[in-house]
Amino acid sequence: MNVIWRTLLTIWRAKAQLRRRGAVPPSTIGRVRVTTLPTDLDLLGHMNNGRYASLFDLGRFDLLIRTGFWDLLVKEKWYAVVASETITFRKSLELWQRFDVETRLLAHDDKSVYLVHRAVVGGEIYAEMIVRARFLRRSGGIVGHDELFAALGRPDTLPPLAPWIHDWAAASALPSTRAEAPSTWD
C-alpha cells in the first residue's frame, strides 16, 4: 500500500506527457526517477529485494501509458498480468539514494511480451529484472499480438525474441491453470 502514492503520481505524470507529446513508439526506453525511502528498506538498511518489483511496476505503468497501450487496454477491456520474472542484483540502493527505473519492451512470442527493468544510478546498472507478461481479455483468453498492434494502429516493431529469453521462459514456466500442479517435494 505504501507504493500507491508513487504509483498514482507516476500515472498522472505519464498521462500528462501523453497529452502533451503524444504516444511514444513501443521501442522507447522509459525512465522514472525514484528515491529510496525508509519504507523501502530491509533490516540491513538497503533496498529490500521485494521492493524492486513494486518500484519496477512504476516503469511498466509509465511505458504502458505513454505508448498508448493503457488507453487501448481500458477501451478493449483487456489487462496485463505478469506471468514470470527474474531479477539480478549488482549493487545495493541505500536510503535517500535517487535512481532511475528504466523500462523497455524487449520482444514477444505468440503468448507473451517481454520487458526489462533496470535500477540505474549515474548510468550504472544496480539491478535488472526480466518480465514475461501477457495481455488477457476480461471475458477470457489471451490477446494475440497481431490483434494488439492492429488495435493500437501501429506496426509491431519489436525485435525477435532472443533464444536465451525463450529458454528462460520455458524453464521457469509452471503448468497451465487448467492442468494439475500438485505441490510435491522430492
> The domain that contains 112 carries what CATH number?
3.10.129.10
Average pLDDT, stretch 20-40? 94
Q: How many helices (H) and strands (E) does the chain have?
A: 5, 5
| Domain-embedded: residue 183 | no
Domain contains 48: yes
Q: Which domain, by its residues, includes 103?
A: 3-172
Rounded CA separation 98/57 (Å):
17
Residue 186 lies in a domain: no
**How high is the mean pLDDT of the chain?**
92
User: Strand pairing of 30-35 and 98-108?
Assistant: antiparallel
| Residues 118, 122, 124, 126, Cα dihedral to 10° | -50
Q: Tell me 107's DSSP state.
A: E
Which range has the worst mean pLDDT, 77-91, 118-132, 152-166? 152-166
Position 98, amino acid: R
Can you tell me the mean pLDDT for 29-33? 97
Instruction: Give percent of the chain above pLDDT 70.
Output: 99
Q: For the chain, what is the domain count?
A: 1
Maximum mean pLDDT: which of 63-72, 120-129, 166-175: 120-129
Residue 18 corresponds to which cell in the numbers above? 501523453
The answer as to whether 110 is a domain residue is yes
Q: What is the C-alpha separation between 112 and 128, in angstroms, rounded?
A: 19
66-75, 109-118, 148-157: lowest mean pLDDT where? Answer: 148-157
